[in-house]
Structure 1
Amino acid sequence: MFFRNLTLFRFSPAVAADLERLAEALPDHALRPAGPMEMSTRGFVSPLGRSAEDLTHIVGSNTMVVAGCEDKLLPAAVVNDEVAKRVQKIVEDEGRKVSGRERKRIKDDALNELLPRAFVRPSRTAAYVDRKSGWVVVDTGSRGAAETVLSQIREALGSFPAVPLAPEESPRVLLTHWVSTGELPAGFTLGDEIELRDPATASGAIARCRRQDLDTDEVREHLRTGKQVYKIGLVYDDRISFVLGEDLVVRKVKFTDVVLDEQADSPESAAAELDANFALMALEYERLLAKLAVLFKLPRPE
């Protein structure tokens, strides 16, 4: 259940108290199956799985939720092919052309017949709110998907003024300085992945390295020619490895054996296992995010 990608938002201490209403607010916004004529539905599901009823899971000051959606799979090619068959039948049977208005009606009829038979694709995105430190942590590397989860929480609560990160230090400049000088902040070491780009033009040169030592003349030569660091692999405190982007999305997060060895042995139940893993994960991310907040000057809203 460990989150592998972290898209982050911040909220004020005043908002934190309102988040205690999540447990009572979410049941009215639970995910329901898509109806025969619906393209999609959205809502919350239990972090404990299909058979559980609770839509939140709380450990300390952290509350986990799982936003779900069910989308009907009805490709445009399938609809267009059905419309073409019906139009062709009219042409052959009645010997006349089909007008644009009639074609639209035929398409609507085809949609109404095909939609109830369409396959449903479910998806789930987990997130948690840290009321003490003012973080929303969404398990996705997609800003759009994270915003969708945030919108669902806002809808459930009536309002939720969480905001994207607003760094006072340029992430790209800072990441580039770390690699070019080898002077990383205390506790951080370089990983084995980097993406460098020429910022002069949108179509500028891009260099990517994976599974490679980054403290090399080859990497520094790219920097001397004007490229800047857009993504960099890092290891924090020998406990977490990740790739940090200039958008401050934390991707490809992995705990090292130092952390995994601290997992509880043979939990009594699924709930107990979730408790233990959630507590461990939230504690590690709390330390990491506090460090990133200092380095990039990420203020918590007042």
Structure 2
Amino acid sequence: MPSLKELRARITGVKSQRKITSAMKMVAASKLRRFQHRAEASRPYADAMRRMMSELAAATRGQGELPPLMQGGPGKTHLIVMLTSDLGLAGGFNANLARAMRALVERLEGEGETVKILPLGRKGGDSMTRAYPDKVVERLPGTAGREVPFKTAADLGARVTQMLLAGEVDRVTVVFNRFVNAMTQTPTEEVLVPLPVPENDNKSEDTAQYEFEPNEEDLLTQLLPRNLQVQFYAALLESAAGEQGARMTAMDNATRNAGKAIDNLSQRYNRTRQANITNELIEIISGAEAV
């Protein structure tokens, strides 16, 4: 049975942990409001950009050789860009995405594709390096829970574009946690290259018809890299909001559990103290009777 001194030390330690987790919960809640607003604000623009580029891909199908950022490469090398956090203490935020990544890699390899992985964020880099050390082409730093600058998405888009134009990869998919609410983040995979073509891609009255000005090549040269950057930026914002939501929920649960542990330890402390007092009284009474 632990002594009173040991129980007091454990109670003091758990109280200190509860202060830390409570502070982390409040910090995550403050960040969540900002990140959630930015993630929700980015969705309409990213969705409209994705829809326009998909319709553009359908409209230009069959018009000769298209850029690699639109139709992909001729081979079967698939690049998966994984977006995770640099920091832990976020519940299953990173572990759930790692499981989704492993399932995706197994599925693609089962289809005969060669997989390369480009993780952004320390947690994703660590998990993928352990699981697939020969598939990780480079590890990119994340934002460490701070604001997400567009430059991060621009640099990531430039790196992926370079790999596509050099023929190192033929297809690109981004995997990230989509923010639903503070308690729910859904692992999501989005194919960026080749551009997804709408299911109803036959030209009809509802299908947009495009005329290029000044010309198709110049326009696509600007639009395709920009679309890649926008999709990465939207995914990074979703991931950042999901990280803060997961951390706030995890720290809230940790604070509650610490409170329960303090109550249990306090009960054990009081019972042990009462038992010690009772034993001392019995010894005193027994000694008095012996005299």
- Normalising by structure 2, what TM-score? 0.21
Q: Which has the larger radius of gyration?
A: 2
TM-score by length of 1: 0.20
Higher fraction of strand: 1
Q: Which has the higher contact order (CA 8 A, sep 6+)?
A: 2
